[in-house]
Structure 1
Amino acid sequence: MRFLPVGTLMAVGMIFGLTYGLSAPLFTLELVARGYGAQFIAANAMMHAIGVLGIAPFLPRIAAHFGPRRPLALALAVITAVLLLLPLVPSIWFWFPLRLALGAATEILLILSESWLNQITDDRTRTRTMGLYSAMLSLGFALGPLILAVAGRQGFVPYVLSASLVLAALFLVCMPWMHAPKLERATHSGLWRYIMLAPIAIGITLLMAMLEAAGSSFLTLYALRNGWSEQAATLLLSVMLLGAITLQFPLGWLGDRMNRRHVMIGLGTASCLGALLWPWGITHQPWAYALLFVWDGLFAAMYTLAMSVVGSRFSGGNLVSIYAATSLAWGVGAFIGPEAAGTAIDLTPHGLPYFVSLACGLFTLLPFFLKKSA
């Protein structure tokens, strides 16, 4: 029966991706249609990060006091309410606090579901299991833009569809098979200590958040500025995320059989160089779809590898504290990513891929020089 809680936690991971994948391009397209520029879009995207940073320091104590199940159920209920409120609020300014609430709720989903899953997974299959979890995250990210591409961003349809999926995940979390593992107290107090214990995991989370926030908010805009239609630009984001879904399991299998550090260095180098091909690909639509499909699959696998190493080294309260530290990194990355990408895309037409390449290259120095760190 272990597949039931595992499947439920993967469904929760998918909801995390769906919420972010739907809201980011939706806000961007709506704000562009209303005449707002890149800096205003970035300011709105930062509210998600503020929600993450606000909840992250309290997650270890919340998990220790209530267990992971009740906070997960509450977060799913909040996301449902926010999705249904978004098309009803009378002013665009209400989107700022609603996006802050989404940031806090989705971060609870990510941290508690991933740490719970890592605790009930054995080390022999850890990278493959976490690879499947990452694939579900990416499936959620892809579903958001796909819903917008099919249903459009006008009316209630995309919101009701997404809220229905969130409610289904809430139903699964409340099922009797969801017995949460008991969490012992963390060995260390303060999240800074855990940042020092797992710098590579923190680094990849920071990078992932920066580029997910930047890509979700500005990839569609990048394509639009290069002559793409709104539907094709939105679909490009979904196709890119499908690469992460498809390639996670085979790359996870590779990570279970090879030196994970070496694999990560190779993936980081490929991500850095691959981003430099985006300016060429964006002018050839079929090649752009193929290029970003492969690129995001390689990029997302770095997160899978890092989290599998963390899961094999830490457990219980220490594992939740590591994830809480990564959530701080996620919040910081999601905060600075849109601003940096918005500035880059205003400076040069291909500022987005140049920013992505630079960020991936700088991260790859971590596993290259920190040979014994998680």
Structure 2
Amino acid sequence: MERSTTTIIEPPAVESLTDAERRRSIAAALGCIAAVGVGLGATLPLLALRMESMGASATLIGLNTAMVGLSHILFTPLVPRILRHVPMMAFLITCAMVASLGTLAYVALPDVYFWFPIRFVTASALAGLFIVSEIWINQVTLEKSRGRVMGLYATIFSGSFALGPVMLLAIGTDGTLPFLLTATMMLVAILPLQLGKGLMPHLTEKPSHSFAAFILVAPAATFAALAYGAIETQVFNLLPIYSLRSGATADVAALVLTVFAAGNVALQVPIGYLADRIDRRLVLAGCAAIGVAGPLLLPATAGQPWLLYPVLFAYGGVVVGLYTVGLALLGQRFSGADLAGANAAFVVMYSLGSLLGPAAGGIAMDTFQPHGLPMSLALVASFGLILTLWRRSSAGPIDPPEGDRP
């Protein structure tokens, strides 16, 4: 296992940034991820609907969608190594251009089978934008405000992602226009990057651990990402179906994801604020506990919207804290090349959960009708809760430092 004693951050060092420069740097990364969020939020339903209109089977559509998770798992571990040789600005601009051109390639090559490699490449570019934006923000953020900034990051991404389908509602899904507009949104991500010119960290050293070792070095954070990836994809793929099978009306079933997503957007900054005030692993355990309790309330509330909606709002807002607080824990513990390696492991675990989650939820629903989905969701969260509590008891509590180490 290769180790290095120091991580070099080339000038301007993030420690020396003024408050104004730090805010500008963070704003640039947030603006980048907002543009990408809109584009990605439009791409997922757009491709599914277009493949359906082209006569593709549900299995083929599902396999094509799986290219997203597969690309993240295979490409993300390479990102820390790439960043040692390519400046962060150049890497992000390249990813935005590849994602944009890849989106236009769907129009140029209107064949479902061509869309498999196109989606793999495009999703890899988007993965690069996500992981590097997270590394960037975590690296330049002060320790005392890390939770709040990570909460703001999650809020902006969730909100911008939700705007993608709204954009499609406004322009429709037929013809070239939706692809052209989506590609444009991905290119727009380059514009806010100019705010951070000269203010990005640059990594030149190797991480002190191998990629796989980071999963075990920071298990509370990385397995929280796995749990949230599995929960999120189960909810967005299966919750409307579960609602219908549990006796909800079609109108209620259509709204459940909107309510869940609204919680995603509304509660991340408050959770981040709490994570800046007390031991972050304790906050992570609290998010996992709500992740267990929320689904167990679904069978009793499924047919009563006035109870179901508040439960889904709180559940959706708190359970995404597994991702938000997990990111803050990584930034608290690692910096420089180590942060890049740990963040890559974090994203891979999230992507692995995203791949495994829908299959596990679907099997549970078919095996335990009609309440297999809540059982599956609660089981995944309980795994994260047990691991977090074990890690906190074995390693001792971590109090957020009072200093301003980025």
TM-score class, shorter-chain normalisation, is 0.7 to 0.9
Which amino acid in the other structure matches residue 11 of structure 1? G
Structure 1 equivalent of residue 160 of structure 2:
140
* Structure 1 residue 283, shift from structure 2 partner: 3.6
Residue 101 (structure 1) shift: 2.2
| 1:344 corresponds to 2:364 | yes
Amino acid at match of 1:52: H
1:22 maps to a residue whose letter is A
Question: Normalized against structure 2, the TM-score is what?
Answer: 0.81
Counterpart residue number, 1:268: 288
Of 33, 41, 45, the residue aligned with 1:13 is 33
* Match 1:368 to one of 389, 392, 396: 389
1:314 corresponding residue in structure 2 = 334
Say whether 1:114 aligns with 2:134.
Answer: yes
Q: Which stretch shifts more, 170-179 or 104-113?
A: 170-179
Partner of 2:13: none
Give the number of aligned pairs: 372
Paired AA for residue 267 in structure 1? C
Amino acid at match of 2:374: P
CA gap 1:341/1:125 in 2 versus in 1, 3 angstroms:
same
State which drifts further: 167-176 or 309-318. Answer: 167-176
**Structure 2 counterpart of 1:352, one-letter code:** L
Deviation at 1:146, TM superposition (A): 3.1
Alignment of 1:19-58 (within 5 A): 19-28=39-48, 36-37=57-58, 39-58=59-78
Report the CA distance shift for 1:360/1:77 in structure 2 as closer, same or farther (over 3 A): same
Gaps of 5+ in 2: 1-19, 399-406
**CA–CA distance in structure 2, aligned partners of residues 35 and 346 of structure 1:** 24
Deviation at 1:124, TM superposition (A): 0.8
Question: For 1:357, which of 345, 355, 378 is the aligned residue?
Answer: 378
Aligned position for 1:295 = 315
Q: Distance in 2 between matches of 1:143 and 1:131?
A: 19
Larger deviation: 247-256 or 79-88? 79-88
Match of 1:177 in 2: 197
Q: 1:237 to 1:152 in 2, by over 3 A?
A: farther
C-alpha separation in 2, matches of 1:221 and 1:32: 19
| Aligned counterparts of 1:153 and 1:265: Cα–Cα separation in 2 | 41
When structure 1 is superposed on structure 2, of 364-373 and 116-125 the one drifting more is 364-373
Contact 1:46 1:334 in 2 (8 A): no
8 Å contact kept, 1:141–1:241 = no
Aligned-residue RMSD, C-alpha: 2.9
Q: Secondary structure at the match of 2:201?
A: coil
The separation in 2 between residues aligned to 1:149 and 1:220, in whole angstroms, is: 19
- Whole-angstrom distance in 1 between the partners of 2:128 and 2:340: 11
Contact (CA 8 Å) 1:206, 1:329: kept in 2 or not? yes
Pairwise CA distance, 1:355:
2.0
Question: 1:369 and 1:307, CA in 2 relative to 1: closer, same or farther beyond 3 A?
Answer: same
- Deviation at 1:299? 0.8
C-alpha distance in structure 2 between counterparts of 1:23 and 1:282, whole Å? 30
CA contact (8 A) 2:264 2:318 kept: yes
Q: Which residue of 1 aligns with 2:148?
A: 128
User: Which amino acid counterpart does residue 82 of structure 2 have in structure 1?
Assistant: I
After superposition, the Cα gap between the structure-2 partners of 1:307 and 1:49, relative to the gap in structure 1 and judged at 3 Å, is same
Please report how far the alpha carbon of residue 286 of structure 1 lies from its aligned counterpart in structure 2 after TM superposition.
5.7
Shift of 1:13: 2.7
TM-score, normalising length: structure 1: 0.87
Q: Deviations over 1:184-216 (max 9, x none)?
A: 413424212212211111101112222333333
Q: Compute the displacement of 1:166 (Å).
A: 1.9
Q: Is the 8 A contact 1:21 1:216 kept in 2?
A: no
